[in-house]
Amino acid sequence: MSVIRLKGQADRRLRAGHQWIYSNEVDTSATPLKQFTPGDQVVVETAQGKPLGIATINPNTLICGRLMSRSTDTFLNKSTLVHRLKIALSLRELTYSAPYYRLVFGDSDGLSGLVVDRFADILVVQISTAGMERVKNEIVEALQDVVKPSAILMKNDGKMRQIEGLDTYVEEAFGTVPELVFLQENGVLFQAPVWDGQKTGWFYDHRENRKTMQGFCDGKRVLDVFSYIGGWGVQAASAGATDVTFIDASESALSHVDENLKLNQYEGASNLMHGDAFEAMQSLIEDKERFDVVVMDPPAFIARRKDIKAGEGAYHRANQLAMRLVAKGGVLVSGSCSMHLETARLHDIVRSNSRQLERFSQLIYRGTQAPDHPVHPAIEETEYLKALFYRIHNNMGL
């Protein structure tokens, strides 16, 4: 097997538990990256020639290597996939009684570049690296052996594939996958558009935060901003909200909101607002609307480090508009899926908005990603989700 050799001290991060190798950490004079084909498996060596394990390689990307094993005898093949899928499945079965969850969360499950969401007997797979793409058939076979699904959809249309030099496509790898699949979360039913929806069609990561949110909704007016297909708002409705407003830029997503409300036999009032979230919130402010619970769960405004300044500005503006819509004594849920936005910084943004608007805010709950999105202790990038709950009052002279 081919070898890549690291520069001096470049092995320290790997020894501490990380799994990524950056291209500037490779001794390219000893082992030129250009000799490799994307997806190759290689032995990783220290500068002194001591083997560290097996990695998949992509010579054309900043993260050029992903450690798949710390043994030179264990390769990324069907046997390894089956073993790690069984371990991943055991965690989810330990945590959840129903088969609706993220089955594989990339690096955190020892399968960098692979995400699998489970909707009962239907699996939706996303591959984002050349190494995983190379063993695509083995992934399908391993999933069939471990989970025994009725169908598998390859939803390989993410932005990371372009960075890795991979084609994008959405196709059935096994069986027949319907346009909409059923799922259950916190006792609430949904249909998710797995073929043409966002990511895998659903976001399981906020499960526990939505459960917490439900406790504030009985008899209340609720606003769900960036609602997608209603993950937050439909659960608020099922928890007893009397009036729920949904805002999203996708007309198709809002049509699914309406169907999901019907699926749960919601009899309260609902308002579907199609358009730009910032403009829609401003319109609600001008109409003097107020809500007992406002959920602000935007897409990642900070995709890369260079986006931090502009992204923080977007979070500031979004949360300020949301706070203006919170009724006296109401609750603001401020969420972020931007890994580059630290929890403390999001809290500081809300604090700043409180002072500017002369509101008195109290942080009452800190939420993070659900257990089916485990955090790898050595890879900070796997801890990305946050949800901060605030009770909002008028200034109270403070």
Please state the φ and ψ torsions of residue 40, each to the nearest 5 degrees: -60, 150
pLDDT at 343 over 90: yes
357-384 confidence digits (pLDDT tens): 999 999 999 999 999 999 999 999 999 9
CA distance 206 to 373: 10
State the DSSP string of 264-328. TT--SEEEEEES-HHHHHHHHHHTT--EEEEEE----S-SSGGGHHHHHHHHHHHHHHHHHTEEE
269-317 confidence digits (pLDDT tens): 999 999 999 999 999 999 999 999 999 999 999 988 899 999 999 999 9
CA distance 192 to 202: 6
Mean pLDDT, to the nearest integer, of 162-171? 96
244-260 confidence digits (pLDDT tens): 999 999 999 999 999 99
For the chain, the average pLDDT equals 97
209-246 confidence digits (pLDDT tens): 999 999 999 999 999 999 999 999 999 999 999 999 99
Max Cα–Cα distance, the chain, nearest Å: 70
Residue 236: per-residue pLDDT: 98
Structural domains of the chain sorted by starting position, each given as residue range(s) with its CATH number in brackets: 3-69 (2.30.130.10), 78-177 (3.30.750.80), 181-394 (3.40.50.150)
Beta bridge partners of 359: 394
CA distance 83 to 75: 12
The single-letter code of the amino acid at 96 is Y
24-83 confidence digits (pLDDT tens): 999 999 999 999 999 999 999 999 999 999 999 999 999 999 999 999 999 999 999 999
